[in-house]
Every structure is written in C-alpha cells, then in structure tokens.
Amino acid sequence: MTATPAGAIHPSNDPITHALENQFGLADRVVDEATLANSVARFRERGITLPTFAELADPSRIDPARVGDADPQGPDARNLWRVHWYNDLAGNRVDVPQHVVLPPALTGIESPIIVVFGDRFPMI
C-alpha cells in the first residue's frame, strides 16, 4: 500500500473519485485486487485474449482471424476484439466510425457537433 502525501486526499475519500467510480463506473485504478486476479485466471483458463490499447486505437492493426466467424451479436469472447468504434451495424469493420454531423443551423452552436453511434458495439 502506498502512503498518501501530507495534505492530499486519499482516493477513497475524494468526492470526485467516488463519483467517477461509483456513479459512472470510471475507475482509473484497480479497486478490487481479488476480482482482478480472478478475472486474469479465468481468462487464462479459457484462452481469452484482449486487444492492446494500440490495437483499439487503430483497429486496422487487428488481424481479422482474431474474430474469425464469431457472430457479432453472440456471446463469444472473440467479440472483445470488436469493442471499438470502427464497426458498422452488422459488426463489420469500417474505415471511419459511423457518425452524423449536426450543423450549426440545427443546433444553434457555432461549431458542428459530431455524434458517434454507440450501437455499433457487439453484444459481449
């Protein structure tokens, strides 16, 4: 366990950290070491692999064989390789994430607003 510097708020007592972790599910640290260890062991036993952050940032680096013939809407661990923005509605890879641009004439805001479709993620 690491010590908290004098005057600093421990992450578990910080209201912003608490809100991010408990209300929004956005923890930026491991909050349960036992659960992490259990997940790692389970993935190892079942041969489940995950893409790297670099592969998620640029899915063109992902070998299509990783997904194989997995049904994009089926409960298949290979769909973890599809959890990125570069999917169409059928689960096929696209070059640009599917989106719509809301123009200033519609929104009343000077800058166009880009809305990326979140329903292109597979069922996992």
User: What was the pLDDT predicted at 95?
Assistant: 92
- Greatest pairwise CA separation for the chain in angstroms: 55
pTM of the model: 0.66
pLDDT per residue as tens digits for the range 46-88: 999 999 999 988 999 999 999 999 998 899 999 999 988 898 9
Sign of CA dihedral 95, 99, 105, 109: negative
Higher-scoring residue by pLDDT: 4, 112: 112
pLDDT per residue as tens digits for the range 97-108: 999 999 999 999
Q: Which long-range contacts (CB under 8 A, 24 or more apart) does 83-88 make?
A: 83/51, 83/56, 83/121, 83/122, 83/124, 84/51, 84/56, 84/59, 85/116, 85/120, 86/59, 86/60, 87/120, 87/121, 87/122, 88/120
Distances (CA, A) of 51 to 55, 63, 96, 114: 6, 10, 19, 26
Per-residue confidence band for 31, with pLDDT thresholds at 50, 70 and 90: confident
Higher-scoring residue by pLDDT: 20, 109: 109
Residue 67 near residue 79 (C-beta atoms within 8 A): yes
On average, the pLDDT of the chain sits at 87
Per-residue confidence band for 124, with pLDDT thresholds at 50, 70 and 90: low
Higher-scoring residue by pLDDT: 122, 92: 92
